[in-house]
Amino acid sequence: MKSLPQDRFVDVPVRVRYAETDRMGIAYHANYFVWFEMGRTEVCRAAGVVYKELEESGYLLMVADLGARYLAPALYDDELLIRTRIGEMGSRTIRFEYELRRGTTLVATGFTRHLYCSNATRRSVRAPEEIRKRFELFAGFEAAARF
Amino acid sequence: MKSLPQDRFVDVPVRVRYAETDRMGIAYHANYFVWFEMGRTEVCRAAGVVYKELEESGYLLMVADLGARYLAPALYDDELLIRTRIGEMGSRTIRFEYELRRGTTLVATGFTRHLYCSNATRRSVRAPEEIRKRFELFAGFEAAARF
Amino acid sequence: MKSLPQDRFVDVPVRVRYAETDRMGIAYHANYFVWFEMGRTEVCRAAGVVYKELEESGYLLMVADLGARYLAPALYDDELLIRTRIGEMGSRTIRFEYELRRGTTLVATGFTRHLYCSNATRRSVRAPEEIRKRFELFAGFEAAARF
Amino acid sequence: MKSLPQDRFVDVPVRVRYAETDRMGIAYHANYFVWFEMGRTEVCRAAGVVYKELEESGYLLMVADLGARYLAPALYDDELLIRTRIGEMGSRTIRFEYELRRGTTLVATGFTRHLYCSNATRRSVRAPEEIRKRFELFAGFEAAARF
């Protein structure tokens, strides 16, 4: 598994919904992972991997583990920016990393690590070559490998 | 379509989760339909129709329309009772009716009406005979039909 | 209570999140009301009523009743349009009406009716004059009343 | 900060709701943290700290960071057991640890770490003495400290 030297974030704006707040008056912590999913979907799309199509071709990216740190509360109606990049890629795994920002304030950071799985068997498989290449190209891995 | 004379509620307790509240300090209105789903699942089970198995046999109950009235707020950590019954049955439809109670307080009422659909085609179909019978028996329709 | 002759929709785009789907492969019915909330928030903003500020000034718009009809499934990654307008206004109530569209397909329709409440007492109150005027002006009520 | 030698789990059953599944046919990963919240609430209650009352007395337990590992999928209608214990306590923090089980299968593990905050200022504060004592007593910290 190689850590990628790139810093290629895809930015997705999101406005905090009333439904996403809790009685503390702030966005409920679990909802951040829904926003992270939005960012992940757009990183995939930017890399030429429409996640819906990846599933239709028989693969799933199942969440293996995740984590987050909460640095500042996100409030109702806040306009946030979800910044997402590919963190690491293995033969069977991919890790996405997230920053959530409101203006210059870092609201949260997080990651999710996924296993490539067969939709049919629900078991871990090697990443399809074509998919892996697209992610690597997008993440700048090949360029970095030249040096 | 016949309205059923029965009054056979199935009661399911639920405790309001923090995640289900919003910044108004009360349970967010959309979440009531998740509780109603819990009640519906248990009415099905009580009638001998495990909904998961119904899906596995090729059928879906897709929501066609729904409604709710909100009478008293539901608060975090409240212990509520979801009371569910079968309201009406047609050849292709089934309607469930719900009451949400906290002690003697009526918190909300609602209904959902569903279409029997084929999982394969996602189109409306007639209710499978065996399923319809179980729901009718449970709802007391046959007994009522005698008079 | 007067029905408004206007047809002034505010349109908000939304992309269906993976989190919003269920094992039927379509968006879960309760989530439509979260999208409707997004539309309602933007109708308020367009009318000059920032809902967050309305709450901060001591008022809440509590949901009194709601309904929806589901006409076509919404799928993961679909780009939908939430069309929202003010339906009716009473001295203590406001009703919002919604259409959910995917291209020319009508996916769902719905409404929510809200009570103006005092945040302090959580009881129903008359709509603040200034707020009511802004909604009326936006909804075209005054223009309509001239004829 | 001291790691607690105890192994005092509180067990809470939960049935997977249809709303909690996604189009992969399994429970969506973010929802696990809602289940963990249910477990945490009951650990607090078992320790004599009704979380709702803690908030009403002016304190919040804000999530500072969290993590989870997903080991086996959770399916619709599954009956799971949320096992929760207090992991670590600091002067201003408390960490809860979770196991999610279906029968003998370990479905997931996770943790959340929380900061004691003042509801008024939303800033980190020292844990109230009485609260800290109850958690310590429950977690077996005092007994352990004697040896």
Indicate if C22 belongs to the active site. Answer: yes
> Could you tell me the residue range of the domain that residue A12 belongs to?
2-139
Residue A129 pLDDT more than 60?
A: yes
* Dihedral (CA of D9, D11, D12, D17) sign: positive
CB-based burial, A123-142: b 16+ in 10 Å, e otherwise: eebebeeebbebbbebbbbe
Q: With bands split at pLDDT 50, 70 and 90, how would you rate the model's confidence at A8?
A: confident
Q: Is residue B147 part of a domain?
A: no
Is B52–D76 a contact, with Cβ atoms under 8 angstroms apart? yes
Is B19–A30 a contact, with Cβ atoms under 8 angstroms apart? yes
Residue C5 pLDDT more than 80?
A: no
Q: What is the mean pLDDT of residues A25-46?
A: 98
Is A34–D30 a contact, with Cβ atoms under 8 angstroms apart? yes
A and D: number of Cβ contacts within 8 A: 53
Is B19–D37 a contact, with Cβ atoms under 8 angstroms apart? yes
d(C-alpha D124, C-alpha D61), whole Å: 9
Q: Is residue D147 part of a domain?
A: no
B and C: number of Cβ contacts within 8 A: 53
Pairing of strands B79-89, B93-102: antiparallel
Q: Is residue B72 part of a domain?
A: yes
Residue A3 pLDDT more than 90?
A: no
Q: Is residue D146 part of a domain?
A: no
pLDDT tens per residue across span D75-121: 999 999 999 999 999 999 999 999 999 999 999 999 999 999 999 99
User: B95 near B109, Cβ under 8 Å?
Assistant: no
d(C-alpha B58, C-alpha B52), whole Å: 10
pLDDT tens per residue across span B115-140: 999 999 999 999 999 999 999 999 98
Q: Is the ipTM of this complex over 0.95?
A: no
> Contacts of residue C34 in chain D, CB cutoff 8 Å?
none
Closest partner CB to D19 (pick from B17, B37, B77): B37
Is A29–D64 a contact, with Cβ atoms under 8 angstroms apart? no
Phi, psi of B49 (to 5 degrees): -120, 95
Q: How far apart are the first and last CA of chain C?
A: 18
Is C21–D19 a contact, with Cβ atoms under 8 angstroms apart? no
Q: Is residue A130 part of a domain?
A: yes
Active site residues of B: 22
Residue A147 pLDDT more than 70?
A: no
d(C-alpha A102, C-alpha A81), whole Å: 6
Is B23–A23 a contact, with Cβ atoms under 8 angstroms apart? yes
CA distance C146 to chain A (A): 36
User: A94 near A10, Cβ under 8 Å?
Assistant: no
Is C76–A34 a contact, with Cβ atoms under 8 angstroms apart? no
CATH number of the domain within which B78 lies: 3.10.129.10
Token pair in block for residue B101: 């109670």
SS3 of residue C4 by DSSP: coil
Report the residue of B62, B65, B117 to disrupt the C interface, i.e. the one with the largest count of C CBs within 10 Å.
B65
Q: What's the mean per-residue pLDDT of chain B?
A: 93
Q: With bands split at pLDDT 50, 70 and 90, how would you rate the model's confidence at A2?
A: low
User: A64 near A113, Cβ under 8 Å?
Assistant: yes
Residue C87 pLDDT more than 70?
A: yes
Spot the catalytic one: A7, A22, A65, A77. Answer: A22
Q: Could you tell me which of B115, B80, B113, B114 has the C-alpha nearest to residue B99?
A: B80
CB atoms within 10 A of CB B85: 20
Q: With bands split at pLDDT 50, 70 and 90, how would you rate the model's confidence at C142?
A: low
Q: Is residue A32 part of a domain?
A: yes
Residues from D contacting A (CB-CB < 8 Å) are 23-24, 29-31, 33-34, 37, 55, 60, 62-70, 73, 112, 122
Q: Which residues of chain B have pLDDT under 70?
A: 1-6, 141-147
The residue of chain C nearest to residue A17, with distances taken between CA atoms, is C38
Token pair in block for residue D52: 């709702």
Chains that touch A (3 or more CB pairs under 8 A): B, C, D
d(C-alpha C69, C-alpha C26), whole Å: 15
Is B76–D18 a contact, with Cβ atoms under 8 angstroms apart? no
Q: Could you tell me which of A120, A114, A119 has the C-alpha nearest to residue A135?
A: A114
The residue of chain D nearest to residue A52, with distances taken between CA atoms, is D23
C113's enclosing H/E stretch is: strand C105-118
* Dihedral (CA of D78, D84, D87, D88) sign: positive
Q: What is the mean pLDDT of residues C1-28?
A: 86
* Percent of chain A at pLDDT exceeding 90: 88
User: D15 near D35, Cβ under 8 Å?
Assistant: no
pLDDT of residue A146: 43
Q: Tell me how many domains chain D contains.
A: 1
DSSP summary character for residue B42 = H
pLDDT of residue C147: 44
pLDDT of residue A140: 85
> Contacts of residue D51 in chain B, CB cutoff 8 Å?
18, 77
Residues from B contacting C (CB-CB < 8 Å) are 23-24, 29-31, 33-34, 37, 55, 60, 62-70, 73, 112, 122
pLDDT tens per residue across span D41-85: 999 999 999 999 999 999 999 999 999 999 999 999 999 999 999
Is B19–A22 a contact, with Cβ atoms under 8 angstroms apart? yes
> Contacts of residue D50 in chain B, CB cutoff 8 Å?
77
The residue of chain D nearest to residue C75, with distances taken between CA atoms, is D23
Q: Is residue D70 part of a domain?
A: yes
Write the DSSP string, B79-92: EEEEEEEEEEE-SS
Q: Is residue A145 part of a domain?
A: no
d(C-alpha C69, C-alpha B67), whole Å: 9
> Contacts of residue B18 in chain D, CB cutoff 8 Å?
37, 41, 51
